[in-house]
Structure 1
């Protein structure tokens, strides 16, 4: 759900200069591709060089805003409601939306690329709001996004990358309100989706797309793991993402979690031990406390060590607010499993209730 930006960054080229000249600039395409790879691998020094060159080549173009928004998202990962970069992130992306609204771009000939910019900026904002439980921000923006989204679906035959948009819509329109009932009201504003068709479209995108393969892989991994609890089905996608972007702490943690859900403890531990510079990320370090706790519980049968790791994970995740709920929930499930004495039955129930209250996916408990 979190990589709509790349659509525009690669498909906006050929791009528009202020004079309206269409550029068929393979150098720029290569530049943007390399920049995205740097961002996904958390190499922000090199990514910043690309950002400066983009601003010089395409002053005032939405592609520059999208690239900056993507950099902020990953540099401050996870971007939370209280992150220092939040205001700048929102300002840049809302500015991108304004620049790419019909009537604000220089030539109707370029409406497709500006539509892509518009949708991508909206997607990044919706991602941030949804991940942080900011439903009051999600609902109005989602309803405003319907028309440009429907227009984009008419372009699906022009480029297989557009399968991503239609696939996400078809699946999430029906699946997301089931796990977050607060969004049922806004979902009724949109036509019915088709979850099976959505999966098929995302799979087509993961095979055929030029720009959105990583995004489709990520989405398929998330859907298989969380909505469908098909952990074996998720593994090829999460593994490919990790191998392609080994320094990306989100992709790395998704792969580790996938392995642990499959009880592949040795493989998960091997990945955990494979350090990269981005492993200093404070959120990833908090996730590691949970992962190590689960290994102590399930592989090494060291209950006390596992309890200590789970408690440390819960404490370390506090600064991340709603974004940290997922792994806080897993840690509470762990404490509940390890609290078995008769005199602690009430505490066991408290831990489990906290875990259930924090998670959207109540089948993922690591209990088995």
Structure 2
């Protein structure tokens, strides 16, 4: 339980100051200069295209522009941080894949070193503190995913320290509001879901989930740098915690439309279509995901394939097309094994359905094999394990 809480807190801290972008509408010549590079409207205009490329998984185009930025501002943490952000999104598609970890940490450390130099020269530099909070926050987020809890706690502690230093600069609002929003939401959510943590959370200021959601909506609408991250958290919270699937769908549809080659947004859009019962559209998007995996498109991999194949299988089962359902349940297993996700719900449910189909086809040996696999990968208290036991007993397998 403690490890789960550390991960939640690390994620919450890491989201304090992420660099995102929305469309700029005016030419840079009309923007007044700012004492902070992050608040330079001309720069925001110039890097919007690069950041949009990054979110659309055209990392090569984005990094060419970031390289120019690094030449223009060699001592500033922004260029390295933007490159690191791109590697985080490579990881986000499948957080179990560790191939990008070392590169992400390398760029985060470079950004942190430059921000630290700025901060050492002037502790009143809010921008330096901003990047230190973001850099350590992302390190904490990665370490929590890797279950490196000591490193995650150390990084989270540093992120919190510099988050406090970066407060007090009115110009940074509503960017800083994202941290407050996530704090308000999760500081109330954690004791609700983990009662044993209530004494620990009592040491923090009291949160307010409703206020947190309102603040996330404000950031998602009005912020420049943290807008997309706020939208990302909103659709996740609306889909899972708030039981507002249509709100989640609305946000994921916007993100997929804006960034059509982002596999995470694509997968989420298909999932939310499925959740609200718009199955033909979910199948259409899911087939597109599978086609992109087959074509080797950047970021489309087995984890997304597991989702997509399952939605297609479910649709065909509902339509009474058992042959197609069986085909895509088998694809779900194949993608699940490739991504080593045998304990996931989609994998386990696919095993269950394949076992039932095999039994209906009078192939009891195969049916037993599938149900045995369910019991192998699912914990005894898992609903799939219970359903497998009951089916075996009822059908005398």
User: TM-score, length-normalised on structure 1?
Assistant: 0.77
1:5-53 deviation line (CA, Å, top 9, x unaligned): 216999xx8466xxxxx79855432232221101000112211211111
Q: State which of 199, 207, 211 in structure 1 corresponds to 2:213.
A: 199
1:83-142 deviation line (CA, Å, top 9, x unaligned): 333123113213433433487454455x22112211221232233233444434322322
CA pair 238-83 structure 1, distance change in 2 beyond 3 A:
same
Higher deviation after alignment, 200-209 or 299-308: 299-308
Does the Cα contact within 8 Å between 1:238 and 1:254 map onto a contact in 2?
yes
Q: State which of 80, 85, 90 in structure 1 corresponds to 2:100.
A: 85
Residue 174 of structure 1 corresponds to 188
Residue 362 of structure 1 corresponds to none
Q: Distance in 2 between matches of 1:281 and 1:229?
A: 28
Does the Cα contact within 8 Å between 2:231 and 2:251 map onto a contact in 1?
yes
Residue 232 of structure 1 corresponds to 246
Higher deviation after alignment, 243-252 or 178-187: 178-187
Shift in Å, 1:147 = 2.8
The answer to whether residue 255 in structure 2 is matched with residue 241 in structure 1 is yes
The answer to whether residue 239 in structure 2 is matched with residue 213 in structure 1 is no
Q: Distance in 1 between matches of 2:130 and 2:383?
A: 37
Q: Distance in 1 between matches of 2:261 and 2:140?
A: 25
Shift in Å, 1:187 = 5.4
1:126-173 deviation line (CA, Å, top 9, x unaligned): 332334444343223223322333445544675222221111122123
Residue 120 of structure 1 corresponds to 134
Q: How many residues align?
A: 344
Structure 2 counterparts to residues 301-320 of structure 1, below 5 A: 301-302=321-322, 303-318=325-340
The answer to whether residue 330 in structure 2 is matched with residue 330 in structure 1 is no
The answer to whether residue 84 in structure 2 is matched with residue 69 in structure 1 is yes
CA pair 279-210 structure 1, distance change in 2 beyond 3 A:
closer
Structure 2 counterparts to residues 1-368 of structure 1, below 5 A: 4-6=17-19, 14=34, 26-75=41-90, 78=93, 80=95, 83-101=98-116, 104-108=119-123, 111-152=125-166, 154-155=168-169, 158-176=172-190, 190-274=204-288, 277-278=297-298, 280-299=300-319, 301-302=321-322, 303-318=325-340, 328-336=344-352, 339-340=355-356, 344=368, 352-353=378-379, 356=382
CA pair 349-226 structure 1, distance change in 2 beyond 3 A:
same
CA pair 213-24 structure 1, distance change in 2 beyond 3 A:
closer
Structure 1: gaps (5+ residues): 17-21, 319-323, 359-368
CA pair 7-262 structure 1, distance change in 2 beyond 3 A:
closer
Shift in Å, 1:219 = 0.6
Does the Cα contact within 8 Å between 2:140 and 2:154 map onto a contact in 1?
no
1:173-202 deviation line (CA, Å, top 9, x unaligned): 333576689988975664342211111110
RMSD: 3.8
Question: Larger Cα Rg: Structure 1 or Structure 2?
Answer: 2
CA pair 268-181 structure 1, distance change in 2 beyond 3 A:
farther
Q: Distance in 2 between matches of 1:247 and 1:7?
A: 17
Does the Cα contact within 8 Å between 1:290 and 1:330 map onto a contact in 2?
yes
CA pair 272-289 structure 1, distance change in 2 beyond 3 A:
closer
Does the Cα contact within 8 Å between 1:166 and 1:198 map onto a contact in 2?
yes
Higher deviation after alignment, 284-293 or 265-274: 284-293
Higher deviation after alignment, 300-309 or 98-107: 98-107
Q: Distance in 2 between matches of 1:133 and 1:211?
A: 29
